[in-house]
């Protein structure tokens, strides 16, 4: 089949769950289908990354929408200038925080981009058009009639908004706008021929909230090297980039609420390492109870994370946390929250520790640091579950069946 994919995130480097979810699936499917990827050229989607992908995927075609063309759009240019000014002068203003949560920006969808994308669809004789990520959800209204359209819902936006803004006293106008976005999300999803959620939980959530088109649960996959757990090396790994708001929120909660409850004198020389890009140097001095070290983006995660303990203190967001699967594949004992492991078939005290309060998180962390038998049990069971349900072979087969179903419906 000819599949044209529109994405806001070029699936490289593998520095986010969204990039990994795309990369691993395309890496397997590119041998069975003619795949074309359309994406906006911007500071996230660097040309050096495109060059690397072209080397890895000679079978895949790439069609970048040039940044210069985006700047021709006055609304796009003005929005970027306005947002950059606000980020400089009022980054912590509550109203601006709400605005940033509710209004994705920086993704041009003017008539030039619409024409560019539709020309690619026509040129490639697309059998299926696949749209990835919420900011391009509305693109369904701009596609040519008669084309088979599928949306990959990495993270249900209205769930993310509600969780991130739960502790903010919203104005009536902001509440109304959030409700409007919720209704618009469901309405746009129903214009696709199929919607793919990453988890059964997200699939049920969408069904319960009015999505009537065919809905599938197709887990993202990790193509990580399978490793056996050996022995804890004294390091605790937090994996995730600073640019993702739930990561910032989770790490702040960890340092302010969890770290003070741990008796670090029992675990001398322990180090919390942050693996992911964008973290400011100031995070290393947030506490003097335990050493915090920024590692930045690491190409080979095994080199820094093997034999460490993974913590996933995620409090908000939606979708599937790829870092959980990475930890399972790499033989890392995992401590997370219910939100962090949401949609992944892991059980408390069997495959990982699932706790929600700061007190329980601290207690579970101390248990895992103190108990080698517990670490062996958690890593062994998590690795088995990963192979059974989340390996690239298992997940690619599910996605293939979805494509075949869509194509057969067309016939």
pLDDT in tens, 179-220: 999 999 999 999 999 999 988 889 999 999 999 999 999 887
In a domain, 85, yes or no: yes
Q: What is the pLDDT of residue 266?
A: 95
Q: Which domain holds residue 174?
A: 2-221+392-410
**Rounded mean pLDDT, 388-393:** 83
d(CA 132, CA 143): 14
| pLDDT over 50 (residue 373) | yes
Judge whether residue 106 has pLDDT over 70.
no
User: Is residue 411 scored above 60 in pLDDT?
Assistant: no
According to the model, what pLDDT value does residue 410 have?
60
**Residue range 376-403: average pLDDT?**
89
Q: How far is CA 286 from the centre of its chain?
A: 26
Show Cβ contacts of residue 18 under 8 Å, excluding neighbours closer than 6 positions.
Answer: 9, 132, 133, 154
Residue 172 shares a structural domain with residue 31 = yes
Q: How many CB atoms neighbour CB 105 within 10 A?
A: 13
In a domain, 192, yes or no: yes
| Whether residue 386 is found in the same domain as residue 396 | no
Distance CA 34, CA 285 (A): 49
Classify residue 373: in a domain, yes or no.
Answer: yes
> How open is the CA angle 305-306-311, to the nearest 5 degrees?
50
The per-residue pLDDT of the chain, averaged, comes to: 90
Give 130's pLDDT tier (boundaries 50, 70, 90): very high
Number of folded domains in the chain? 2
Do 295 and 354 lie in one domain? The reply is: yes
How does pLDDT run across 326-362, given as a tens digit for each residue? 899 999 999 999 999 988 989 999 999 999 999 999 9
Instruction: Tell whether 230 is covered by a domain.
Output: no
In this structure, the answer to whether residues 187 and 243 fall within a common structural domain is no
Q: Tell whether 262 and 127 lie within a shared domain.
A: no
Phi, psi of 15 (to 5 degrees): -110, 15
186: burial class by Cβ within 10 Å (0-12, 13-18, 19+)?
A: middle
370: domain CATH number is 3.40.50.2000
Long-range contacts made by residues 166-170, C-beta under 8 angstroms, separation at least 24?
166/316, 168/94, 168/97, 168/98, 170/98
How is residue 336 annotated by DSSP? E
């Amino acid at each position: 089949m000819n599949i044209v994919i529109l994405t806001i995130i070029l699936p490289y480097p593998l520095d986010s769950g969204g990039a990994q979810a795309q990369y691993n699936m395309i890496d397997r499917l590119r041998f069975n289908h003619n795949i074309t990827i359309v994406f906006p050229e911007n500071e996230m989607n660097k040309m050096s990354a495109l060059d690397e992908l072209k080397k890895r995927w000679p079978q895949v075609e790439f069609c970048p929408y040039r940044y210069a063309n985006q700047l021709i759009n006055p609304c796009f240019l003005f929005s970027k200038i306005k947002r950059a000014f606000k980020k400089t002068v009022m980054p912590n203003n509550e109203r601006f925080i709400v605005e940033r949560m509710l209004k994705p920006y920086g993704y041009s969808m003017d008539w030039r981009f619409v024409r560019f994308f539709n020309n690619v669809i026509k040129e490639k004789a697309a059998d299926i058009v696949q749209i990835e990520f919420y900011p391009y959800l509305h693109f369904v209204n701009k596609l040519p009639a008669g084309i088979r359209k599928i949306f990959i819902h990495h993270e249900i936006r209205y769930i993310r908004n509600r969780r991130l803004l739960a502790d903010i006293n919203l104005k009536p106008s902001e509440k109304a706008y959030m409700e409007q976005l919720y209704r618009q999300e469901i309405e746009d999803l129903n214009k696709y021929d199929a919607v793919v959620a990453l988890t059964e939980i997200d699939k049920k959530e969408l069904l319960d909230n009015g999505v009537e088109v065919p809905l599938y649960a197709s887990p993202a996959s990790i193509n990580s090297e399978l490793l056996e757990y050996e022995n804890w090396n004294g390091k605790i790994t937090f994996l995730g980039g600073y640019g993702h708001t739930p990561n910032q929120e989770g790490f702040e909660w960890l340092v302010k609420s969890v770290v003070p409850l741990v008796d670090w004198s029992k675990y001398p020389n322990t180090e919390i390492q942050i693996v992911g890009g964008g973290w400011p140097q100031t995070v290393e001095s947030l506490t003097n109870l335990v050493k915090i070290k920024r590692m930045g983006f690491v190409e080979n995660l095994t080199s820094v994370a093997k034999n460490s303990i993974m913590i996933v203190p995620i409090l908000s967001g939606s979708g599937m946390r790829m870092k959980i699967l990475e930890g399972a594949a790499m033989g890392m004992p995992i401590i997370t929250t219910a939100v962090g492991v949401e949609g992944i078939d892991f059980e408390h005290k069997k495959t990982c520790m699932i706790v929600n309060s700061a007190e329980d998180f601290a207690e579970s962390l101390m248990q895992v640091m103190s108990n080698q038998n517990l670490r062996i049990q958690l890593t062994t069971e998590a690795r088995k579950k990963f192979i059974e349900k989340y390996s690239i072979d298992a997940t690619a087969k599910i996605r293939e069946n979805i494509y075949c179903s869509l194509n057969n419906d067309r016939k």
